[in-house]
Structure 1
Amino acid sequence: MKRILVPTDFSTQAENALKAAAQIARKNDFEIHLLHMLEIPSQMNDAISGGAAIPEIMLFIQKAKETIHYIKEQHYLKDIPIIESIKLEKASQGILSYSKENNIDLIIMGSNGVSGIEEIIIGSNTEKVVRLSAVPVIIIKEEINNFNPKNIVFASDFSEEIKKPFKKVLDFVNLFDAKLNLVTICTPNSFKTTAIAKKIFQKFISEFEIKNFSTHIYNDLNIEKGIIHFSKEINADLISLCTHGRTGLSHFFTGSISEDLANHATKPLIVFKI
């Protein structure tokens, strides 16, 4: 892992993501790719053929360059290699294509702390990136003064299809020399006895070398609440999940995301694609 992509719309949320990326990059000698997507309004796009909108577009590009230059001068980015880029493309499409073209290893995106998870589910740019990205995506919802996760939750059903992306989870955990808390959430609609859950854990972890981990069976009314409550109980620094590319996080969450999770899951979240 050497290249971190941070898409920015120059918002506070994007800055929070960039600060987290800077901490990871500085500790591990990574480079940061700072990408601004300049989406052209349809009416302006229609006018391009006649040349009428070219001056306006050039003005937007120049303003974006000035803002990126200002961002690069911030103290928290000092001595970190920064590669800047501005693309005229729809945000999610541009982020994904840039990631592929530049062999990005990790994407870090900012999201509103209150509605972040909800936005991921209902179809925002963040959701589209999470759903389609071939590389892990971290969602940062608040400013983190010291992004150095030592206590990471991995919530899953630990089925066969999780094994391949779990290798990437372990790479990330080892990067921070963190403890991994493996948890399966039992709900009234997805109940497992303790004996069955333990057998699933034993079969799953037997195929991996995990330095520092623990297994947990947590009972709650639904998966979303279970993840939140368990993460709070152990004071987790980061929540990690696996997702199918087809349906985003809705594969993991069996129903529409609860208001409780949308409002209270303010911890950073990293998603790995199955």
Structure 2
Amino acid sequence: MEKILVPVDFSEHTDKTCQYALEIAKRFNSEIRLFHSYFDQVIVSDSSFPTGIDTNTMMNEQLLIDIEKRAKLDIQELQSKLIDQVKHEKIKDVKIVYTLVGGDPENEIVSLCDEYKPDIIIMGSSGKGNKGILMGSVSKKVMNNAKVPVLAIPETYSYSGINKIMYATEFNESDSDIIKKLLKMFSSFDIKINCVHLNLDDDRTVDNEMMANMKRIFAEENKNGIIHFEIIDCDKVATEIENYVINNQINIIAFLSQKRNIFQKLFKNIVTKKHLFEAGVPLLAFHG
């Protein structure tokens, strides 16, 4: 991973997100690009900015200038803090740069990805039990629209290593490619992958056949204990995922992010991003 994009909002959660990114950057000698998008215009109703801002009030030019100045000071201060940490810890070949723009966070992040081409986006998420912050709502939208992997870090989570990754499969044709990407992305970590399917139906015949096919594709990794395959029968999805994460010491849940069509939304037996967010660990979304 040569380039890591880290959107920040200067909340208390920003430091945890940056520290997580730095831990990964250490392993790959990555460049970390801090990114912040500040409010610079009248907000429309479907914007990612806080709803407390009056969309009918025109902001005067001086206030917009002050907002930009404050944002520039904040991101430069954060950059300096991380550079000092890199020097203090004698971390080699990790570069800290930043991009500051005005606009809507979600759109600007996706736009920068097209230009900067990061290997991964690491950003904050409101996580389990949180009432919701700006970056939490934006992360879910970026997961749906960014073409690069997005790692969302819950506010309550602190980096504790990357050893066990749960890949939540719905038996998509992209699964094998994503698992290969996971092995490559975290090649500098001694990781093990638990490929898990949550079965919400009474009949698991088809699921067994699909999982058996995945085992054949990764027969060597399965034999060497690098990848473990498992089907779990469950009724309460969120509870089952949370218990699995705790019992198996999962550090990251990876999944294929797909927009549901109207037909799919009619059915309850679907594992959603909401279920995964409730597990309280970082989520790694791959674009589908």
Report the TM-score, using the length of structure 2 for normalisation.
0.78
Query: Out of 208, 217, 221, which is 1:207 matched to?
Result: 217
Q: What is the letter of the counterpart of residue 176 of structure 1?
A: F
Q: Which structure would you say has the larger RCO, counting Cα contacts within 8 Å and 6 or more residues apart?
A: 1
Q: In the alignment, is the contact (CA less than 8 A) between 2:122 and 2:151 conserved in 1?
A: yes
Q: What is the letter of the counterpart of residue 68 of structure 2?
A: I
Query: Out of 86, 101, 106, which is 1:78 matched to?
Result: 86
In 1, Cα distance between equivalents of 2:215 and 2:276: 28
In 2, Cα distance between equivalents of 1:61 and 1:71: 15
Which runs of 5 or more residues in structure 1 are unaligned? none
Counterpart check, 1:33 vs 2:7: no
In 2, Cα distance between equivalents of 1:268 and 1:258: 12
Tell me the equivalent position of 1:109.
123
* Deviation (angstroms), 1:112: 1.9
Aligned length: 263
In 2, Cα distance between equivalents of 1:258 and 1:131: 10
CA change 1:30–1:184 in 2 (3 A) is: same
CA change 1:256–1:181 in 2 (3 A) is: closer
Q: What is the letter of the counterpart of residue 203 of structure 1?
A: N
CA offsets per residue over residues 3-60 of structure 1, 9 Å max, x none? 1111111012222211100111122100111011012241799999xxx833322222
In 2, Cα distance between equivalents of 1:257 and 1:245: 10
Indicate the percent of aligned positions where both proteins have the same amino acid. 24
Q: What is the letter of the counterpart of residue 150 of structure 2?
A: V
Q: What is the letter of the counterpart of residue 66 of structure 2?
A: L
Q: What is the letter of the counterpart of residue 23 of structure 2?
A: Q
In 1, Cα distance between equivalents of 2:37 and 2:99: 9
Counterpart check, 1:235 vs 2:242: no
In 1, Cα distance between equivalents of 2:131 and 2:214: 28
* Deviation (angstroms), 1:150: 0.5
CA change 1:175–1:246 in 2 (3 A) is: farther
Q: What is the letter of the counterpart of residue 153 of structure 2?
A: I
Tell me the equivalent position of 2:47.
none
* Deviation (angstroms), 1:147: 4.5
* Deviation (angstroms), 1:213: 1.3
In 2, Cα distance between equivalents of 1:256 and 1:267: 16
CA offsets per residue over residues 233-263 of structure 1, 9 Å max, x none? 111111111112566xx8898459698865x
CA offsets per residue over residues 35-94 of structure 1, 9 Å max, x none? 11012241799999xxx8333222222211211222123267424311111111111000
Report the TM-score, using the length of structure 1 for normalisation.
0.81
CA change 1:27–1:140 in 2 (3 A) is: same
In 2, Cα distance between equivalents of 1:3 and 1:17: 15
Counterpart check, 1:124 vs 2:132: no
Query: Out of 145, 162, 185, which is 2:198 matched to?
Result: 185
Tell me the equivalent position of 2:20.
20
Match of 1:174, SS? coil
Q: In the alignment, is the contact (CA less than 8 A) between 1:16 and 1:143 conserved in 2?
A: no
* Deviation (angstroms), 1:175: 4.0
Counterpart check, 1:157 vs 2:170: yes
CA change 1:260–1:41 in 2 (3 A) is: same
Q: What is the letter of the counterpart of residue 192 of structure 1?
A: R
Q: What is the letter of the counterpart of residue 20 of structure 1?
A: Y
Q: In the alignment, is the contact (CA less than 8 A) between 1:173 and 1:180 conserved in 2?
A: no
In 2, Cα distance between equivalents of 1:173 and 1:42: 42
Q: What is the letter of the counterpart of residue 230 of structure 2?
A: H
Tell me the equivalent position of 2:101.
87
Of the structure 1 ranges 12-21 and 39-48, higher mean CA displacement relative to structure 2 is found in 39-48
